[in-house]
Amino acid sequence: MSATTTPVPAAGPVPLSPQEEAVMRALGRFLMVMPRALDADLMREQRMSASEYSVLRHLSETPGQMMRMSELAVACDMSLSGMTRLAAKLESLGHLRRTRCLEDARGANAVLTEEGLARLREAWPTHLASVRRHIFDHLDGLDLDRLAAAFSAMAADT
């Protein structure tokens, strides 16, 4: 390289702007704190964990109110063994029943019972109030359609 040649800076990562850094820190804190806050409200007021609520909600939203255990585990972001333990608890409470999968004898389905649906309906107002208080009360004035689209795009990008 001659004395008149200007060195080209090495390409590297572009640092986050102060605003981007603030978003990343706030998002990281949100992802840690929010599940615990929602769970705590359900436990305190309903004696139900957020995981139990999630299982009942997912089952209530599917045709026949039934899902394969493996699909339910994925939907609830749990391991299959964790889902099996949770389903056993919910089954002992009468909130679901497990049946053999007709398409695959090795698999099992979780089926929401009437008692489970009633329990979900009982817990729903607590969960709704918690979600409003912890999340939506802080989003006043934001474009929720754009926010939902951005979250969906981020989730699809993984």
Which letter, b or e, does each residue of 39-78 get, where b requires 16 or more Cβ atoms within 10 Å of its Cβ? bebbeeebebebbbbbbbbbbeeeeebbbebeebbebbeb
Domain containing 61 — which CATH number?
1.10.10.10
pLDDT at 62 over 60: yes
Domain count across the chain: 1
In a domain, 109, yes or no: yes
Give the domain extent around 55: 39-139
Render pLDDT for 70-109 as a digit per residue (tens, 0 to 9). 999 999 999 999 999 999 999 999 999 999 988 777 789 9
In a domain, 64, yes or no: yes
Determine contact, residues 59/96, Cβ cutoff 8 Å: yes
Provide the whole-model pTM: 0.85
In a domain, 135, yes or no: yes
Render pLDDT for 36-61 as a digit per residue (tens, 0 to 9). 999 999 999 999 999 999 999 999 99
Render pLDDT for 16-37 as a digit per residue (tens, 0 to 9). 999 999 999 999 999 999 999 9
In a domain, 24, yes or no: no
As to burial, measured by CB atoms within 10 angstroms (0-12 exposed, 13-18 middle, 19+ buried), residue 98 is: middle
In a domain, 79, yes or no: yes
Nearest-10 crossing angle of helices 18-46, 114-134: 140
pLDDT at 155 over 80: yes
In a domain, 34, yes or no: no
In a domain, 148, yes or no: no
In a domain, 15, yes or no: no
Helices (H), 15-139: 18-46, 50-60, 69-75, 80-92, 114-134
